[in-house]
Amino acid sequence: MILLIPISPEVPKSRRPRFWPGLLLSLILAIVYMEISPVLQADKKYLEGLSSLIQTHEDGRVELMPEAHLKLKQRPLLKIVPSRGDWSFRRLLAANFIHGSFPHLLLNMVGVFAGARICSTFMPFSLILAVFMIGGTLGLFVSTVFTQQISIYIPHLGASAGIFTLMGMYYVFNFHYRTKYFFWFPSKYGLAGLRTHWFFFVDVVLLEIILSAAQLFPGQADVVDHFAHVMGFAVGATLALALRTVLRWPAFIQTKSEYLFWRELRKSPMPQDAVEWAKTWMELLRINKFNDLVKENLLEILRANAATLPQPILDKAVSYIHPTFIRLNPELTANTLTSLLMQDRSLSKEWLERTPYDCVIRIARFLVSDTLGSEPLARLLRPYQEAHQKDIGLQSKLGVLLERLKPESGDQAGIRDNSPAASIPRQSTRR
Amino acid sequence: MIGLGFPAFTPIHPDPQIAAAIEAAEQEHYLASPPADMFMRAGAFFLDGLFYWILSSAILKVAGILSLWLPLQSNDSGVWLFRITLYLAYTSAPLVYFGATPAKLLMGLRVIRKDSGKGLTWKDALIREGLGKIPSLILLGIPAVLGFFDPQRSCFHDRIAGTVVRQIHDPL
């Protein structure tokens, strides 16, 4: 059960998921459904008289008569899909592509399309298909063996375990990044980039774990095979971890293109100094400008080498600090800017022009400190004011803020107070 | 929620002058920001509803499986009391500590006092979410439609609590 459909990992347009892997897998499911429809019809006809073999006790408990078990054992569908009392490896494998009804098929076609599509940002189609089949088969096997049901001849089928395997792969590969979800029309209001590590977990895993726990208690279960879903997800996550280890895929790499660049880089000697490292991180950001982990690494280089980095490198590096990154990482951004500003490094005018005022406000609290006072903030606000000369409203806001920051007895904003009282360490307060 | 850079986790400088200057700048910025689009707010409401549903269903399911608390295992007044308390906690606590509910934060919206631009107190939040929104929900959201016709986009629950919703930045 998934509440919101993940549309895409947050990646640049050129790295967006491809359409055809999802479409191809969905078409395979549809073709298989058409092929086995005579079996489904025969199965439906065969089960018509089964309701007369169901016994309902006074306490509401439902039980099947012994004849019903025998009848279920002979049902046509069990010749192609597994059940707890009668299964084989071939049928487990085939069950990934077989669906019991049209609504079941339709739901899983949507799921398979979404799963295969989002995985195409980091996997080729052959691997997607292999992972889908391995995880789906294992998920169905565990669910077939462990689920408590009214009869051991209840069939287990459907692509959902495989879909959850793909979701598990996606979860591991995109753990540190954001996923775009669609939830509302018109789409400009209804697309939200949610952090994969918590929302994907809540959306896909948490509900399934809770619902699959219910599946272990007879009477609490529904008709959905949650157990297969959880197992499929676990297999997908495990396969992803194994694959990442074999490929030596670092955690800060999100897409296939970044990985290919990193693999080539590993073949030659690794960068030796800060400038080379800064260039490497910027090259990765040129491939995927949404990669916040690489931005964190780049900002760390800027912070540690604020005095020595050449100005062109600095300007280019700062241009990758986008508003969303500032909003999500205000403290890291502020610490880097403090280091740069206190080394009298200038920030590029283009970056100041395109940084919205809400970002400045958000990092303002982190730009003031016990030791430096409001000097870093004042040093940011002055060029920011110059860069926004055409915006009269903003000019006045910045003017008022700079005026307010001026110490009552000091000659300039943020001059360090060297009085004895100022040397007493003060506790930061929180609102 | 930690890590989204919300104000509750942001330190205020110990120097009262600097702290006051930054807070005043924030409040002025919030007041000067445009009123939030009603479709955007409806989207946030829908998403919050989903988050709330996940949370309440998960708790009720776990309570049912583990037989934790008898009133939570049947569809009676205990369940309703639990759902309403959880709804108030889910909506009011983020309003007080972060300035908006989780979905509103994702959409770049902020709920502030109409007169001062300050954040909401517990009293404001409970009036807005309890006395304002619950009757509105019972009346199928009709009082909330008022917002479409108001230049400040103030719905019934905003008017009753003296709040406005502003678009502080683009959706994340």
In this predicted model, what pLDDT tens digit does every residue of A27-61 receive, in sequence order?
A: 999 999 999 999 999 989 988 877 777 777 777 67
Identify all chain A residues contacting B26, using CB atoms and an 8 Å cutoff. Answer: 361, 364
Q: Quick: pLDDT tens for B12-63.
A: 666 778 888 888 888 888 888 999 988 888 888 888 988 888 888 778 777 7
Supply the pLDDT for residue A431.
34
Closest by Cβ to B39, choosing from A178, A189, A356: A189
Cβ contacts of A377 within 8 Å, gap of 6 or more:
A364, A367, A368, A405, A414
Three-class secondary structure of residue A191 per DSSP: strand
Contacts of B13 in chain A (CB under 8 A): 365, 368-370, 374, 428
**Position of tokens 């719905």?**
B155
Which residue of A191, A322, A365, A384 is the best one to mutate when testing the B interface, meaning the one whose CB has the most B CBs within 10 A?
Answer: A365
Mean pLDDT rounded to a whole number for chain B:
82
Q: Which residues of A touch B47 (CB under 8 A)?
A: 183-184, 192
Interface check A431 vs B, CB under 8 A: yes
Res A356: pLDDT: 92
Contact with chain A for residue B123, Cβ under 8 A: no
Strands (E), chain B: 11-12, 109-113, 163-167
- How far is Cα B5 from Cα A330, in angstroms, rounded to an integer? 6
Q: Can you say whether the dihedral through the CA atoms of A288, A289, A295, A298 is positive or negative?
A: positive
Residue of A nearest to B50 (CA): A3
Distance from CA of A366 to the nearest CA of B (A): 7
Q: What is the pLDDT of residue A162?
A: 95
| Residue burial A364-388, b: 16+ Cβ < 10 Å; e: rest | bbbbbbbebbbbbbbbbbeebbebb
Q: Which residue spans within A138-280 are E strands per DSSP?
A: 178-182, 191-195
ipTM above 0.85, yes or no: no
A15/chain B closest Cα distance in angstroms: 19
Residue A416 has a pLDDT of 44
Structure tokens at A172: 């591991």
Q: Is A338 in CB contact (< 8 Å) with chain B?
A: no
Contacts with A321 (C-beta within 8 Å, 6 or more apart), sequence order:
A295, A299, A333, A351, A355
B15 touches chain A (CB under 8 A): yes
> What residue of A is the nearest CA neighbor of B102?
A194
Residue in this structure with the two tokens 């969303």, named with its chain if needed: A324
Residue of A nearest to B21 (CA): A404
Instruction: Sort out which chain A residues have CB atoms less than 8 A from B103's CB and list them.
Output: 192
Flag residues of chain A having pLDDT under 70: 1-3, 60, 185-189, 206-207, 209-223, 407-431
Output the pLDDT for position A426: 37
pLDDT above 60: residue B71: no
Q: Do A189 and B57 touch (CB under 8 A)?
A: no
Is B10–A330 a contact, with Cβ atoms under 8 angstroms apart?
Answer: yes
CB distance from B161 to chain A under 8 Å?
no
pLDDT tens readout for residues B108-117: 899 999 988 8
Which of B18, B28, B46 shows the shortest C-beta gap to A405? B18
> A405 and B47 in contact by Cβ < 8 A?
no
Q: Is the pTM of this model over 0.95?
A: no
Distance from the Cα of residue A135 to its chain's centroid: 20
Interchain CB contact of B25 with A (< 8 Å): yes
Nearest Cα residue in chain A from B106: A192
| Interface contact B58-A374, CB threshold 8 A | no
Tokens 């990044």 map to which residue? Answer: A177
pLDDT value, residue A412: 46
Nearest residue on chain B to A393, judged by CA atoms?
B32
Chain B interface includes A3 (CB < 8 A): yes
pLDDT at res. A413: 44
Separation between Cα atoms, residue A241 and residue A243, nearest integer Å: 5
Chain A residues whose beta carbon lies within 8 Å of the beta carbon of residue B12: 365, 428-431
Is A426 an 8 Å CB contact of chain B? yes
Q: Which residue of B has its CA nearest to A374?
A: B18
Query: Among all residues of chain A, which has the CA nearest to that of B167?
Result: A358
Pairing of strands A178-182, A191-195: antiparallel
What per-residue confidence (pLDDT) applies to A415? 42
Decide if A366 and B10 are in contact by the 8 Å CB cutoff.
yes
Residues of A in contact with B50 (CB under 8 A): 3-4, 183
**Measured between CA atoms, how close is B33 to chain A, in angstroms?**
10
Check if the beta carbon of residue A430 is closer than 8 Å to that of residue B13. Answer: no
| Strands (DSSP E) found in B81-120 | 109-113
- The answer to whether residues A296 and A332 touch, using CB atoms and an 8 Å cutoff, is yes
User: How far, in Å, CA of A366 to CA of A369, rounded?
Assistant: 7
- Touching check for B68 and chain A: CB below 8 Å? no
Indicate yes or no: CB of B5 within 8 angstroms of CB of A184. no
Cβ–Cβ gap A428/B14 under 8 Å? yes
Token output for A29: 């499911």
